[in-house]
Amino acid sequence: MDTADEVQPTSPEVMLAFYRRLYPFKSIYNWLNHEHAPTRLFTHREFAFTLQGDVYLRYNSFTSADELKKQVCQLNPTRFEIGPVYSARPRDKKTVRSGAFNPILRELVFDIDMTDYDPVRTCCSKTDICKKCWGFIAAAVRVLDAALRDEFGYEKLLWVYSGRRGIHLWISDKEAMALTDQQRKALVGWLTVVQGGKEGSQKLNVHNNGGKLPPSLQNALGYLRTVFGELILSNQNCFQSEDGYEELLKAVPDQRVVDTLRSKWDANPTRSSEDKWSDLFKAASTQQRLMSALEDIIIQYTYPRLDAEVSKHRNHLLKAPFCIHPKTGRVCVPLDLEAIEKFDPEGVPTVSQLLRELDQIKREDDESSSKEYHSDWEKTSLKPYIDLMDKHALSLMEVTRKEKRKAGIWFLFFLYVHEELSLEIFKIYPGDSAADISFVCTSRMYNIYTSVH
């Protein structure tokens, strides 16, 4: 197969080869299902497909990873999205009575888009992104990840590069998945400090009447101070131009200081952003009100800018990990939080690159064979990203295993206390051991529990 650079990155031929040989359907299944045997977390999950020609198919559902793969290879979509877990199988939507088809569970998701930083970044604009402006995303990830773990207690966070200019977050904790739309709206409202887009340049004032920040913002500010110098003053050089330093002066609440600094900077047009920030810091050092304004500026330029609409509703669809971005050809890969600052968007594998890597591997099987190559990704540069996903999925499955074990202990205690009921259960399962009976009943009780919660 010709996988030269001139081939369209998401041509039907390329996409079909990717789905057949590289896409990690089993890993996606384990991540969504939280255990090996199919549960409602997967069988009642919505999948939506975007086909060639922008045809959109919603309310698809599947019973296994193999069934999902078969349908994807048959439809050959340009991408597909993952939705909520419904009260009935999405594919049965038309046969379910009115009012009985509702979203009941959904990962809490967030979307950070680089275009929302256009008012403050100088290296790129619109859909472009580079290693320099990735620093905004990295800072946002650090702040948001810490807030969600420390303030809300969530642990199962998966960060996924969107394939072009942003990042998605999927939170799979049981408590997060059960949040209502109203609760999601309140949570994202609490986390939203700086608006995205044009509103992001508006003057920020987040201090209370006593001149203090809320504790959550104080924690974020402690980290943002450490990246402000390199990201804003050095890499972006935000205050070098006249437009840049005029935006800075708009945030200073003392007109006398503003006039003094403007005169000094107008007379020295080549003065660096570091020098201008130093000038402002010296002028503000004797006034608490101005020092608070400097803290507001740091937050305004570096705090996460969230696309709130993505997070508010359980029925919102979000692009599945490992899909291919149609414009760049890059894979939407999970990211390692510990190396988030080192991540380079331009270094992400493209679908054409991955297929070239496969073409270099000698195979005895003809490429047109109907045989499915479940582990071909292990031979490519996609492997570390799938390993990361599998590690995350295993942690979710371990939580489920521990919950089942805990439920089993309580069930045995219940049988011990209620001797008559225990004898009735042994009549239902004659010849089985107590352990076998406990496992069967615990599994059923757990499945009922997860379907309700």
113 in active site: yes
Q: Which of 111, 173, 279, 307 is catalytic?
A: 111
Catalytic choice (113, 295, 307, 376)? 113
Per the CB < 8 A criterion, the answer to whether 319 and 326 are in contact is no
Q: Is position 46 annotated as part of the catalytic site? A: yes
Catalytic position from the list 46, 81, 107, 307: 46
Which 3-state string (H, E, C) describes the chain? CCCCCCCCCCCHHHHHHHHHHCCCHHHHHHHHHCCCCCCHHHHCEEEEEEECCCEEEEEECCCCHHHHHHHHHHHCCCEEEEEEEECCCHHHHHHCCCCCCCEEECCEEEEEEHHHHCCCCCCCCCCCCCCCCHHHHHHHHHHHHHHHHHCCCCCCEEEEECCCCEEEEEECCHHHHCCCHHHHHHHHHHHCCCCCHHHHHCCCCCCCCCCCCCHHHHHHHHHHHHHHHHHHHHHCCCCCCHHHHHHHHHCCCCHHHHHHHHHHHHHCCCCCHHHHHHHHHHHHCCCHHHHHHHHHHHHHHHCCCECHHHHHCCCCCEECCCCECCCCCEECCECCHHHHHHCCHHHCCEHHHHHHHHHCCCCCCCCCCCCCCCCHHHHCCCHHHHHHHHHHHHHHHHHHHHHHHHHHHHHHHHHHHCHHHHHHHHHHCCCCCHHHHHHHHHHHHHHHHHHHC
Q: Which residues are catalytic?
A: 46, 111, 113
